[in-house]
Chains A and B, each alone.
Chain A
């Protein structure tokens, strides 16, 4: 009898444990990454960039990217200068990216120094092919921005770029101290989205562009699922503000903000992603 009771207790505690393990795994969100090691360059240089569609806090699973629909940069030196648009599709190369737990099709881009030689801001924009999320039977398309700077002369970092789904930065995404705050506005076809649904993730597994992989070891451990993928809402004017408690890259994703809601007969979510880099004050 004692044995049966012990078995029952073991079974019950196992169920509780299993439930706890399931609950404790951090919630995950898709994030289209446009990754560089350094977003604020002292001088113009050749830049290696990784284009990976993944769950950056967990380092995976990583999803297979299709051929990007558009990939370009708009640069500007100074407030009054005319922005210069450069198509970057020619620099894309398909790669396999090793995420935590799986490998998937991704892209790398080696942007030559000629493109990034001048002082000023460089707003990189990626329009990926919609990704079919089979489990939910819906497509996801994340319009992604990465803002870089050369030499400290600002330009167009804060200018909306006319994407269907976009995050307009109100702070320079390439110049943030740890402990500071970052603000932005969620836009749909250039207009603010009141109370937009926003997710934030820290790039928790260091990307290695040479190895084309995330580090297996994470930087931090989420104490609760709500810490891995953090959710918030913009205010009534589409404005949001996040803290930057740790050095590295922070992804901000505004969900379902683009105008198209269907692709190839299935629901489509057009999201907006912006990448923000924070550095320790030392």
Chain B
């Protein structure tokens, strides 16, 4: 597993794109699209992430915004100033976190 900068604040948070696949592992990737950040989420078995919760927090773990993934498993937002991270709530204690330093 990769080690990323930043503290885990959520017990059980998992922070890698390519960790071992569970039967139903949450997966997340974010990238810059125009002047927005586009995050895409899904599951390793192909299940849709539509309606699942996604959150954006700052470096002090203050919640900046939250929303739900659309019917294509995507969520767009304007990037905040400073470091931030995105958490995709995959359910049953499985979450994935992506840090702003990883997003380009």
Interface residues of chain A, those whose CB is within 8 Å of chain B, are 42-44, 77-81, 117-120, 150-155
- Per the bound structure, the CA–CA distance linking A107 and B29 in Å amounts to 31
Contacts known (A118-B40, A119-B40, A152-B18); A78 close to B46, Cβ less than 8 A: yes
Asked whether B73 lies within 8 Å of A78 as measured between CB atoms, the reply is yes
Shortest distance between the CB of B17 and any CB in chain A (Å):
5
- The CB with the most chain B CB atoms within 10 A, among A78, A80, A120, A154, is that of A78
- The interface bits of chain B over 33-76 (1 if a CB of A lies within 8 angstroms of the residue's CB, else 0) are 00000001111111111000000000000000000000011000
User: Can you report 29 A-B residue pairs in the complex whose CB atoms are below 8 A from each other?
Assistant: A42-B17, A42-B18, A43-B29, A44-B29, A77-B40, A77-B42, A78-B46, A78-B47, A78-B49, A78-B73, A79-B47, A81-B72, A117-B31, A118-B29, A119-B42, A120-B42, A150-B29, A151-B17, A151-B27, A151-B42, A152-B17, A152-B44, A153-B42, A153-B43, A153-B44, A153-B46, A153-B73, A154-B45, A155-B46
Dominant secondary structure of chain A at its interface with chain B? loop
Contacts known (A120-B42, A153-B42); A81 close to B73, Cβ less than 8 A: yes
- Per the bound structure, the CA–CA distance linking A81 and B27 in Å amounts to 16
Q: Does B25 contact A (CB under 8 A)?
A: yes
- A117's closest neighbor in chain B, by CB? B31
Q: Chain A contacts of B40 at CB under 8 A?
A: 77, 118-119
Shortest distance between the CB of A165 and any CB in chain B (Å):
27
Which of A43, A44, A77, A152 touches B21 (beta carbons < 8 Å)?
A: A152
Asked whether B48 lies within 8 Å of A78 as measured between CB atoms, the reply is yes
- Per the bound structure, the CA–CA distance linking A153 and B21 in Å amounts to 10
Asked whether A78 lies within 8 Å of B17 as measured between CB atoms, the reply is no
- Per the bound structure, the CA–CA distance linking A117 and B31 in Å amounts to 8
Q: Chain A contacts of B27 at CB under 8 A?
A: 119, 151-153
- The CB with the most chain A CB atoms within 10 A, among B40, B45, B49, is that of B40
For the complex with contacts A119-B27, A153-B73, 8 further pairs of A-B residues with Cβ separation under 8 Å are: A42-B18, A44-B29, A79-B47, A119-B41, A119-B42, A151-B42, A152-B25, A153-B42
Asked whether B29 lies within 8 Å of A79 as measured between CB atoms, the reply is no
Q: Chain B contacts of A120 at CB under 8 A?
A: 42
Q: Chain B contacts of A79 at CB under 8 A?
A: 46-48
Q: Chain B contacts of A44 at CB under 8 A?
A: 29, 31
Q: Chain B contacts of A117 at CB under 8 A?
A: 31
- Per the bound structure, the CA–CA distance linking A79 and B48 in Å amounts to 7
Q: Chain B contacts of A78 at CB under 8 A?
A: 42-43, 46-49, 73
Shortest distance between the CB of B38 and any CB in chain A (Å):
9
Contacts known (A77-B40, A77-B72, A118-B40); A154 close to B31, Cβ less than 8 A: no
Shortest distance between the CB of B89 and any CB in chain A (Å):
16
- B45's closest neighbor in chain A, by CB? A154
Shortest distance between the CB of B78 and any CB in chain A (Å):
19
- B31's closest neighbor in chain A, by CB? A117
Shortest distance between the CB of A127 and any CB in chain B (Å):
27
- B17's closest neighbor in chain A, by CB? A42
Q: Which 9 A-B pairs have the closest CB atoms?
A: A153-B42, A79-B46, A154-B46, A42-B18, A80-B48, A119-B40, A78-B48, A78-B42, A152-B27
- Per the bound structure, the CA–CA distance linking A79 and B24 in Å amounts to 13
Shortest distance between the CB of B103 and any CB in chain A (Å):
10
Shortest distance between the CB of A48 and any CB in chain B (Å):
19
- Per the bound structure, the CA–CA distance linking A151 and B45 in Å amounts to 12
Q: Chain B contacts of A77 at CB under 8 A?
A: 40, 42, 72-73
Q: Chain A contacts of B29 at CB under 8 A?
A: 43-44, 118-119, 150-151
